[in-house]
Amino acid sequence: MPARSQRGSALVISVIVVLVIAVIGVAVIRFASREVAGATASRKTQALVACADAGRQMILSQFKALGGAPVSLTALNLPMDANTRVVGGHFDPVNTAIDIQVKQVSYLPEAAFGPDRGAVQDLSNRVVGTGGGGKPMKVVVHCQQGGVGNDASSGRQLEVEFGLRFGI
């Protein structure tokens, strides 16, 4: 039986090796692009969290600086940078005919905030006899990144809602 010729087998093996290396290269590029996309989304989220915290601190500083009733403060609408705005309150156009507007600062019922008055409480680190420390309030701040102008329905958004007692 005559021996089979091995001519061309090096070419086939080299094509297979090149294909395997190409597949590995494509997988590495796809993995890297997903990592970049994840890092970009994380950076944008962190920027929105920082913006919302800045809005929260801005409202608290207005409580202290302006005196008066906190529920009568003008709603925030400030640019944080060229691409990010901090806006007081919440605006969500669910339906073009009916828009929902939540106030930036509103009073809460007295029993809605703080510990249960009938429960056993630890009195350490408390000043007793001060009258409860003011009225409980709900504050809503949200940040918009990107989007078109003041249109709250466009761009990325993050909303922060927190409760506090302000006053003596």
3-class secondary structure, 87: strand
User: CA geometry: angle at 121 spanning 123 and 138, to 5°?
Assistant: 100
Q: What pTM was computed for the model?
A: 0.59
Structure tokens of 77? 């609408």
pLDDT tens digit sequence for 89-117: 765 555 444 444 567 788 888 777 666 66
Long-range contacts (CB closer than 8 Å, 24 or more residues apart) made by 90-99: 90/140, 90/142, 90/159, 90/161, 91/152, 92/152, 92/153, 93/152, 93/153
How many Å separate Cα 80 from the centre of its chain?
Answer: 14
C-beta separation of 139 from 104 below 8 A: yes
pLDDT tens digit sequence for 1-46: 566 777 778 888 999 999 999 999 999 999 999 999 999 989 888 8
The identity of residue 144, as a single letter, is: Q
CA distance 64 to 67: 6
Domain boundaries, the chain: 9-166
Q: Return the pLDDT at 131.
A: 44
pLDDT tens digit sequence for 56-81: 888 878 776 766 677 777 777 788 88
